[in-house]
Amino acid sequence: MPTNAEIIHRALDRITAEYVFPEKAAHIDALIRPRLAAGEYDGLEERELCETVTAHLQEACPDKHLRLLWTDEPQDLNPAAEDEGRSAFLELLRAQNQGIHRFEHLDGNVGLIDLRRIASADEGGRAIGAAMELVALSSALVLDLRECRGGAPEGAAMWCSYFFPDDQVHLNDIYERRTDSTRQFWTVAHLPAPRYLDRPVYVLTSAVTFSGGEDVAYTLQAHGRATVVGETTRGGAHPTVRYPVAAHVLVTVPAARTINTVTGTNWEGVGVVPDVAVPADEALDTAHKAALRDLGA
């Protein structure tokens, strides 16, 4: 079992090597290691260690994706098993219906999809298509992301693709520090359900909406394809990799950054600001009424 010092050294080594902003990684290292040398982390149980180090990481660099996480399931520390984080995420999505929590047909022929996670495009594509098939004949759509806590960039691009006519829309780019490369995300050419075009789309947000959920909201808003209703989101725009540093401790390292093709920036630290600001628990009613007005109902 590694000591607290070993856990922190492993975490800092990962952050230094892969955090998307090298200068900030150096600053983090310079602030955390003296705390370690001073004995601030001595004697802490691993759960408390995660909370304490995360608070110090956030003081050094307020990136909400940057943290130590406790996990009940023991992790394989073998470097060859580093894809286990993805495997665990895929299992979570399978257990949660690929993030699609519910569908509802609201008064006035308004469709509602309640989305809690953004599935990967490969495994989740059929489920995403099934949800969009259910709303294909609706006159307006409400996409509820108030409880959406993240997911896969490819899945976010697939969700967004349904609201554009073809594969010619450049949605955003993701720059990865480790490879010094930029990956472009465009609308998908072939989708398993009809595209949702020429009809109003409302996206609901809350202070809980995070990461991949923010990606969908920000992208549709920036491209003028949806009206965002609700609260400003949490503000986490950096795609993240998880590495085990002890059997029950993971370090999450934001290893890339999103660049929207319309705004030239992203929602990191500021969140997605709604077009119509209302408390989260009023967002659905507000959006539904707005949709009915759009439809002349």
Amino acid at position 164, single letter: F
Give the pair of three-digit tokens for residue 60.
Answer: 């050094």
CATH superfamily of 96-236+271-294: 2-enoyl-CoA Hydratase; Chain A, domain 1 (3.90.226.10)
Domain residue ranges of the chain, discontinuous segments joined by +: 4-74, 96-236+271-294
pLDDT in tens, 245-295: 999 999 999 999 999 999 999 999 999 999 999 999 999 999 999 999 999
pLDDT in tens, 25-77: 999 999 999 999 999 999 999 999 999 999 999 999 999 899 999 988 887 77
Q: Indicate the pTM of the whole model.
A: 0.88
The pLDDT, as a whole number, for residue 18 is 93
CA dihedral 73, 77, 79, 85 (to 10 degrees): 20
